[in-house]
Amino acid sequence: MTTAFLVAPEGVEQSELTSPWQAVSAVGGDPRLISTAPGSVQAFQNLDKGDTFLVDATVDQASAVDYDLLVLPGGTANPDALRLHAGAVALTREFFAAGKPVAAICHAPWLLIEAGVVRGRTLTSWPSLRTDLGNAGATWVDEEVRVCRAGPNTLITSRKPADLDAFGEAVLTEMSART
């Protein structure tokens, strides 16, 4: 199963990228790093610079047709930059329109709000997004992982790095249900 991980060139929370990436890889999945610019992305560990990761494709080169699942890691800066990039917003919408599963953690639901895909859904996030999600028509819950099957696709959300094990498990469960 080919999984797109969509991140900005700078600001992704490293653990929220690497933990689900490793989970997908461990079961034989094919994770691919998609960004708004070619080259590499600079991850962060909270506010400190972390590792860099090579980009496999840009949003302009990517299509939901080529992937089975979309993972949106968080960090504060990462989804904030992505929601301002028309190509990142369009690619996110494309996954929803294609009925493909999407998984988002921490602040990543900001991109989902911008893409206009949260209305009528129940999800979780970093607590500061509660009002934003409610204003966008979503129901916010304080749970380590929430799987929402409203509509043709599945939306998996988690709150923070401490929830990564549950988030990864939910992503793997969705992958196995689709193979």
Catalytic residue at 148? no
State which H helix or E strand residue 14 sits in: helix 14-26
Which of 89, 103, 106, 155 is flagged as catalytic? 106
Distance from the Cα of residue 115 to its chain's centroid: 12
Tell how strand 145-148 and strand 155-158 pair up: antiparallel
Catalytic residue at 85? no
State which H helix or E strand residue 48 sits in: strand 48-54
Which of 32, 83, 100, 107 is flagged as catalytic? 107
Other residues' Cβ atoms within 10 Å of the Cβ of residue 51:
13
Sign of CA dihedral 164, 73, 94, 64: negative
- What single string gives the DSSP state of each residue in 95-158? HHHTT--EEEETTTHHHHHHHT--TT-EE---GGGHHHHHHTTPEE---SEEEE--SSS-EEEE
| Residues designated as active site | 106-107
